[in-house]
Structure 1
Amino acid sequence: EESKPQLKGIVTRLHSEQGFYLQMLPDGTISGCKDENSDYTLFNLIPVGLRVVAIQGVKAGLYVGMNAEGFLYTSDVFTPECKFKESVFENYYVIYSSTLYRQHESGRAWFLGLNKEGIIMKGNRVKKTKPCSHFVPRPIEVCMYKEPSLHELEEKLLKSSRSPTLNSGRARSLDRPARGSAHSSTEREAS
């Protein structure tokens, strides 16, 4: 399949109004960092619909996703949970909301957000009027991208999904258990 890259997107850094750059580490952890020259703060913003983008860490090659509980996670395949609506707020900031999930009662959107410590927030706790959701893209270059092939969520569950970055302790227990690993290492130290 020799499809040419058809989608015009950008390589960019996303600077939060909280003073952090969004970053994705090689293990898929998403957080904020102050180092504007870090390669981990580079993201591909790929247009996958009208004002809808996929957010992919350049270094890790993983997509940012938001699950049905509002937790942010990273995925090696592109699924409907990895589509974010890109909206301009007050003519300056850009806000990113899940295209799939929102508050049931009010219909309020769930947003990508960093708190004052640079820790990723649960989407349903982020308000679009607050600095935690406000990002300023700092584009590095325009790039052409191939359309990411969309995987159904069921397929994704069969693959090893990385744990949501927030509450990773709880999420890890849902993943393949790291049972016994901690206590076997303490035994090893004791011997």
Structure 2
Amino acid sequence: MNKNRPGCTRPDRRDALKAAAGAGLLAFAPEAALAAGQPAPALDTRSASLWSLWLEALVPGAAQAGAADYLQAQLALPRDHSALFLRYMDWPGDYRAFYRDGIRAVDVLAQVRHGQGFAELDAAARGALVGEIAAGAPSPWVGPPAGLFYFVCKADGADLVFGTHAGFKQLGLDYRAHVEPAGVWPRRA
């Protein structure tokens, strides 16, 4: 219960972070990047890797298309230049926090349901977890709204895998963009 907001039954952010830390899920930006004077990645390596696995569970082919690198690159851009679907949802909060907290919530839920993290689950367990999150009200869930996280990530995955010349070709369709993308993202041709 959130002690700072009377009547609020949601856990507060501190409780969520304590739970994640207790589960060993908090990781920080790589020291090497900071020591080299480079900006830290938007997400730590573990979170980016988990997001890639999560996206692959939502849209097969997303991991091969470079999901983790795509997210890192998009989060490094100013909000008004991002191609992430979250932009079109008018999300008022921090984009990095949305994805970071969402993937941590997925991993915590996997730990609670299956006794292991999302990365260790087999395809059937991942699918069951995806279904529960898509329904919008898994418990415990401490992150952005679960249904919104699912919806936004699935749209991001669809854009990454199918929103390109190669993706349209894979679907057997002609690519007819209303506005031609400024650059080519996917690793595959």
TM class by shorter chain equals under 0.3
- Give the TM-score taking structure 2 as reference length: 0.27
- Give the TM-score taking structure 1 as reference length: 0.27
Higher percent of residues as helix: 2
Q: Tell me which of the two structures has the higher relative contact order, counting C-alpha pairs closer than 8 angstroms and 6 or more residues apart.
A: 1
